[in-house]
């Protein structure tokens, strides 16, 4: 690495610590220009690209206050990076997650509904801007303090800036409001926060709690993220039995191919009496949190009321008949489509469909929850009292259920 680039990288570090985004943009742009004519290792180049994307967000009026004029500056900066990446396919693949996050921010800012703002916050965390993610998510919580997905995402953002006490407070709050099948997400957040706080302060009680939360999450469901959380806590504890147990758990995960790096860390621990803190920090901060968000986005199961709260900012009313309230309160539902069909209760053209997968006589089928965005009532297909062909064609014809049902899609891929 040349002396010039080393000086620029040090300048980037100082600019980031000072939140001097214009200077960070200038410095990262200079590094990218030098990378065109000199050799720069891939890791440094990727870190520079992430810092560049972080810098062009600036103070973030367009994501927090939704001021379109600043969005144009962001779009110009993003186009500049895309031009740079055209001739570097191997780097392009390595930074695709960051580029995708930037594209998602650009697109979702145009339609800042509640669910989109939470996704914007998630993408901001990927681009190392948890400060703006926190601003957005705290604003979302003003609308609903029980929004489980917002709480879970906010936990990670506060952990990113080492606010472990706040992370723990929010994760404990999320545990009270989460769906039954989603408890592992705040549990994993608690595991990470207590692990990180133990590494910072050395309080034995923290690592004991981290291991306890990790095992509770594993008992609920074994997946790649829970396994990572457990092994991070086990390594931090320096307990050989815990490390051995965590290694065994990794072998049981669905994505066992992702266990190579964790096993390498364990091997390093066994070969030397200590693993450098920065080695664990770099690996787990980069992989663990991205996995958490991807899992939360793809497989976190909401009930009907939570979906409406996330998408529209309110919970619908439900009649206490045909066991609808209990059925709509269970997790596993997903949003299908908004339509302009008239509601049979208030006659407003604002009927929306939320569905849930189930199996009947060996064949897949899907429950209906039909929500009116006008009178804010939810009912099942029996309560709709409309021509079956009309409303089924409107929803399934426009948005085929087999293309959006997570269970159907996963089974089709298998």
- Do 128 and 240 lie in one domain? The reply is no
Domain count, the chain: 3
Is 70 exceeded by the pLDDT of residue 304? yes
Q: Are residues 104 and 178 in the same domain?
A: no
pLDDT at residue 195, as a whole number: 93
Mean pLDDT, range 259-280, rounded to an integer: 40
Residues 341 and 273 in one domain: no
pLDDT number for residue 233: 92
Boundary of a domain, candidates 109, 136, 163: 136
Nearby residues of 53 by Cβ (< 8 Å), 6 or more positions away: 77, 78, 81, 98, 99, 101, 102, 127
Query: Of 282, 298, 314, which residue constitutes the final position of a domain?
Result: 298
pLDDT of residue 179: 58
* Residue 43 pLDDT > 70: yes
Tens of pLDDT along 151-208? 888 988 998 888 999 999 998 888 877 655 567 888 988 999 999 999 888 899 999 9
Residue 283 has pLDDT above 70, yes or no: no
Tell me, yes or no, whether 157 and 291 share the same domain.
Answer: yes
> Is residue 291 pLDDT above 80, yes or no?
no
pLDDT in tens, 361-397: 778 888 889 999 999 999 988 776 655 566 777 787 7
User: Does residue 56 sit in the same domain as residue 153?
Assistant: no
pTM over 0.85: no
**Does pLDDT of 48 surpass 80?**
yes
Q: Which of 298, 321, 355 is a domain's end point?
A: 298
Is the per-residue pLDDT at 269 higher than 60?
Answer: no
Instruction: Please tell me the predicted confidence (pLDDT) of residue 272.
Output: 35
Task: Please write the tens of the pLDDT for every residue from 60-112.
Answer: 888 887 666 678 888 899 999 888 888 777 776 778 888 888 988 888 887 77
* Domain shared by 160 and 283, yes or no: yes
Residue 257 sits in the same domain as residue 369: no
Query: 1-10, 19-28, 183-192, 362-371: which has the minimum mean pLDDT?
Result: 1-10
Are residues 240 and 95 both part of a single domain? no
User: Quick one: 269 and 335 in the same domain?
Assistant: no
Domain of 220, in residue numbers: 144-298
Q: Are residues 75 and 155 in the same domain?
A: no
């Amino acid at each position: 690495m040349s002396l010039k680039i080393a000086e620029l990288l040090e300048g980037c570090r100082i600019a980031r610590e000072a939140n001097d985004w214009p200077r960070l943009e200038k410095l990262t742009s200079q590094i990218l220009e030098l990378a065109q004519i000199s050799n720069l290792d891939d890791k440094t180049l990727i870190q520079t690209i992430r810092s560049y994307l972080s810098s062009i967000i600036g103070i973030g009026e367009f994501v927090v206050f939704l001021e379109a004029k600043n969005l144009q500056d962001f779009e110009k900066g993003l186009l500049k990076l895309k031009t740079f990446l055209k001739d570097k396919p191997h780097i392009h693949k390595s930074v695709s997650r960051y580029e995708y996050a930037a594209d998602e921010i650009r697109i979702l800012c145009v339609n800042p509904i509640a669910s989109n703002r939470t996704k914007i916050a998630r993408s901001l965390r990927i681009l190392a801007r948890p400060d703006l993610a926190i601003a957005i998510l705290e604003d979302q919580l003003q609308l609903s303090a029980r929004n489980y997905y917002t709480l879970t995402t906010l936990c990670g953002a506060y952990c990113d800036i080492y606010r472990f006490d706040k992370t723990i407070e929010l994760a404990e709050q999320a545990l009270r409001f989460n769906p039954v099948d989603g408890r592992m997400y705040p549990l994993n957040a608690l595991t990470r926060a207590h692990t990180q706080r133990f590494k910072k302060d050395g309080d034995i009680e923290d690592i004991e709690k981290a291991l306890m939360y990790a095992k509770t999450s594993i008992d609920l469901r074994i997946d790649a993220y829970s396994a990572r959380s457990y092994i991070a806590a086990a390594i931090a504890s320096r307990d050989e039995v815990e490390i051995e147990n965590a290694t065994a758990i990794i072998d049981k995960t669905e994505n066992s191919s992702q266990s190579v790096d964790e096993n390498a860390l364990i091997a390093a621990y066994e070969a030397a009496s200590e693993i450098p803190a920065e080695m664990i920090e770099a690996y787990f901060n980069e992989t663990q949190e991205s996995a958490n968000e991807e899992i939360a986005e793809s497989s976190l199961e909401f009930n009907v009321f939570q979906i409406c709260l996330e998408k529209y900012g309110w919970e619908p009313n439900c009649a206490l008949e045909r066991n609808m309230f209990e059925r709509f309160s269970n997790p596993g539902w997903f949003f299908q489509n908004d339509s302009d069909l008239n509601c049979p209760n208030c006659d407003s053209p604002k009927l929306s469909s939320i569905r849930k997968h189930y199996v009947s006589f060996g064949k897949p089928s899907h429950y209906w929850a039909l929500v009116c965005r006008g009178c804010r009532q939810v009912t099942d297909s029996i309560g709709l009292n409309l021509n079956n062909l009309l409303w089924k064609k409107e929803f399934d014809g426009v948005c085929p259920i087999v293309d959006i049902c997570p269970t159907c899609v996963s089974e089709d891929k298998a």
